[in-house]
Amino acid sequence: MSDSPSERLSTGATSDPVRQVSDTIWRDLSRHRGVLDATDLGTVALVLVYLRSRPVWDALADGTFDIEQAIYADVSADQHGPRILRPVLDLVRTSDARQLGALLHLVGRYNLASVSFAQVFSTLLDRMALDGGRKGAGEFHTPRSITDLAAALLTPAPNSRIFDPCCKGGGFLAAMLDRMTFEREDEGQPPMASISDYSARSCALAYLNLRMRGVTPEVLPSPAVSLRAGAANQQFDVVTTNPPFNLTNWNLDQGVEGRWKYGLPPEHSGNYAWLQYVVASLADGGRAAVVMPGGTGFSENPQERSIRSAMVEDGVISAVIALPGQMFANTAIPVTMWLLERSTVARPDAVLFVDASELGTMQERARRSLTDTDIERIVEAYAAWRELRLNAVPGFAAAVSIEQLRDSEYKLNPRAHMVPMDGSPDIHEQTVRVRELALQLRRLTEQAGNADRVIEAYLEELSL
């Protein structure tokens, strides 16, 4: 007796069952798109995947509840839930009833007992970014390897207060929760998560994303309001975010406001508004990771140069990491990750620079992604520096004193501060790299074979 393609996917051998299931769901969903664009379709799909993981699914599947009733029943313990989810519920209401019925049946087909629904949700967000154009990519998504890197670098404790002021579907905080264990009483309480975003729909998706991981987040006012104030109204142990790059008119022509300890940011770019906002939102001992465009660290704008120098002198910049280009679906520019902190103990009188711009491997749609090995290498360099075990790794990591940064006019360009590598190749490193490429080729070959088998199964069912 033959089983369905979805059942074959959930039980068949694969190196990445979450990716296989997510890609198959997305491909099947596209057949029912109707008038919905890829981003709207993805949003409806994410609502259904969320409900598929909840106890209310049975009542939804047997017709006792419709989708809106199921959502209200699921979030009934949170009085703010219905308001937060209004943008996605409005989209569900405007969808054709027959289309919703088909999508409900489609998501319900999948036997995901051996696959994390939360991971499927996150992977579908990634797919929505790839297929949704600039709207989907910019509004709802930060690449998974960047969020995984931030989570590995910051390692919040279970009962931390964590915050993403520009949450884009909740990727950063979801990655942190995936690394944390807080089920048993002796491992502490779940973290207290807070989110905000310019997009109400992004907040709604982040809300669902984090609830799937056992945490109901607090939704704070939009950064359109709070960014002008220079900080959130609360302080947090961990802040991480990927704000809009070079945001113009971020102050909304409201005049000078805010707690700008290091200087008033220029109107034409909000980069240093965001960096100061994050620092001001940290509690004592708090740490942060902020994604910035590559040129932020050596901008020649007088206001930005002055702010940068003041931040360096105050010791709030812990490290700057240069990441590869082509990581985002909507831009090929290289980016940096700034690690910030409000330390209560003496720190080295230096800033760590890591040049990871040559790391990563190419994935689908010409996007580059950091491997687990790449992330481990960056994290180890940062940990070694914090533990005073690192001086320099030629071509990769260097600790630069504040005095040296003064001499360089406070330019925070990781590549410019690297100790040159000698001319002889590192045989061990080359061997490891070849081995990684061989493993990647094997994985891609396996995925191609799995895809061929799924396609053949569909064609067989259609008698083609």
Residue 78 contacts residue 58 (beta carbons within 8 Å)? no
Q: In this predicted structure, what is the pLDDT of residue 140?
A: 67
Q: Tell me the pLDDT tens digit for each residue of 153-211.
A: 998 888 899 999 999 999 999 999 998 865 444 456 788 999 999 999 999 999 999 99
Residue 210 contacts residue 174 (beta carbons within 8 Å)? yes
The DSSP bridge partners found for residue 335 are: 293
CA distance 349 to 437: 39
Q: Domain segments of the chain: what residues?
A: 5-116, 136-417
Q: Tell me the pLDDT tens digit for each residue of 221-260.
A: 999 989 988 888 899 999 999 999 998 888 765 555 667 9
Q: What is the mean pLDDT of residues 18-45?
A: 77
Residue 365 contacts residue 336 (beta carbons within 8 Å)? no
Residue 220 contacts residue 166 (beta carbons within 8 Å)? no
Contacts (Cβ under 8 Å, ≥6 apart) of 401:
349, 350
Report whether CATH 3.40.1360.10 matches the domain 136-417.
no
Q: In this predicted structure, what is the pLDDT of residue 365?
A: 66
CA distance 372 to 217: 28
| Angstrom distances, CA of residue 98 to CA of 103, 152, 368 | 9, 44, 39
Confidence category of residue 3, pLDDT binned at 50, 70, 90: very low
Q: Tell me the pLDDT tens digit for each residue of 416-436.
A: 998 776 644 444 455 555 655
| Side-chain half-sphere CA neighbours of 192 within 13 A | 8
Q: By C-alpha distance, which of 12, 26, 213, 10 is closest to 113?
A: 10
Q: What is the dihedral of CA 375, 351, 274, 334, to 10 degrees?
A: -50
Residue by residue, DSSP assigns 347-394 as --SEEEEEE-TT--EE-GGG-EE--HHHHHHHHHHHHHHHTT--SEET
Q: Which amino acid is at 43?
A: T
> What is the edge-to-edge ordering of all strands in the sheet holding 161-164?
218-219, 192-195, 161-164, 236-241, 282-293, 335-341, 317-322, 350-355, 397-401, 392-393
CA distance 88 to 55: 20
Q: Which amino acid is at 377?
A: R
Residue 222 contacts residue 197 (beta carbons within 8 Å)? yes
